[in-house]
Structure 1
Amino acid sequence: MKYAIESKSLTKKYGDFTAVDSLEIKVPEGKVYGFLGRNGSGKTTTIRMIMGLIKPDLGKVKIFGKEVNRNDISYLKDIGAIIETPGFYNNLSGYENLEITCELFNTDKKSIEKSLDIVGLSKVDNQNVGTFSLGMKQRLGIANALIHSPKILILDEPTNGLDPMGIIEMRGLIKNLSKTRGITILVSSHLLSEIQLIADYVGIIDNGRLIMEGHIDSIDIDQQNYLILETSNNKKAEKILNSLNFEFEKKNDSLKIYCEYNHNSMINKKMIENNLEVYNLKSHLKTLEERFLGIADNHLTKKGD
Structure 2
Amino acid sequence: MDNISLTLKKGDIAGPIGNNSAGKTTLMKLISGILERPNGTTDLNTKTEGALIEAPALYPNMTVEANLKFYCRLYHKDYSSIDCYKEDLEVATYLKRKASKLSLGMKQRVGLFIALIASDEFILLDEPTNSLDPNGINSILILIERLAKNHGLTFIISSHILSNLEQGCTKNYLLKNHKLICLDDDANAKYKIYTEDLSMKPLMTLLKLNDLAFECQKNDILVKGIEKIKQVLGQGGIFFTNFFHI
State the TM-score, normalizing by the size of structure 2.
0.77
Decide which moves more: 179-188 or 148-157.
148-157
| Aligned twin of 2:35 | 54
| Aligned twin of 2:25 | 44
CA shift digits 1:179-228 (9 cap, x unpaired): 1111101101111111011101011102322233437x959xxx999xxx
| Aligned twin of 2:211 | 262
TM-fit CA distance, 1:116:
2.3
Question: Pick from 46, 68, 82: which aligns with 1:112?
Answer: 82
- Secondary structure of the corresponding residue to residue 92 of structure 1: coil
Question: Pick from 59, 63, 88: which aligns with 1:89?
Answer: 59
1:180 paired to 2:157: no
1:28 paired to 2:9: yes
Q: Is the 8 Å Cα contact of residues 148 and 155 (structure 2) preserved in structure 1?
A: yes
Question: Pick from 199, 218, 221: which aligns with 2:169?
Answer: 199
- Secondary structure of the corresponding residue to residue 35 of structure 2: coil
Gapped runs of 5+ residues in structure 1? 1-19, 67-74, 226-247, 265-281, 299-305
TM-fit CA distance, 1:50:
1.0
State the TM-score, normalizing by the size of structure 1.
0.63
| Aligned twin of 2:218 | none
Question: Pick from 123, 130, 136: which aligns with 1:166?
Answer: 136
- Secondary structure of the corresponding residue to residue 187 of structure 1: strand
Number of residue pairs aligned between Structure 1 and Structure 2? 217
TM-fit CA distance, 1:257:
8.3
| Aligned twin of 1:102 | 72
CA shift digits 1:34-55 (9 cap, x unpaired): 1111111111111111111111
Gapped runs of 5+ residues in structure 2? 195-199, 214-232
In 2, the alpha carbon distance for the partners of 1:23 and 1:256 equals: 38
TM-fit CA distance, 1:287:
4.4
| Aligned twin of 1:214 | 184
TM-fit CA distance, 1:102:
1.0
| Aligned twin of 2:222 | none
Alpha carbons of structure 1 residues 201 and 103: separation in structure 2 relative to 1, 3 Å:
same
1:128 paired to 2:98: yes
Q: Is the 8 Å Cα contact of residues 224 and 259 (structure 1) preserved in structure 2?
A: no
TM-fit CA distance, 1:165:
1.3
| Aligned twin of 2:123 | 153
In 2, the alpha carbon distance for the partners of 1:285 and 1:224 equals: 15
In 2, the alpha carbon distance for the partners of 1:212 and 1:100 equals: 38
RMSD: 3.1
- Match runs of 1:242-257 below 5 Å: none
Q: Is the 8 Å Cα contact of residues 42 and 207 (structure 1) preserved in structure 2?
A: no
In 1, the alpha carbon distance for the partners of 2:125 and 2:158 equals: 6
Question: Pick from 137, 140, 143: which aligns with 2:110?
Answer: 140
Percent identical residues: 30
Q: Is the 8 Å Cα contact of residues 206 and 236 (structure 2) preserved in structure 1?
A: no
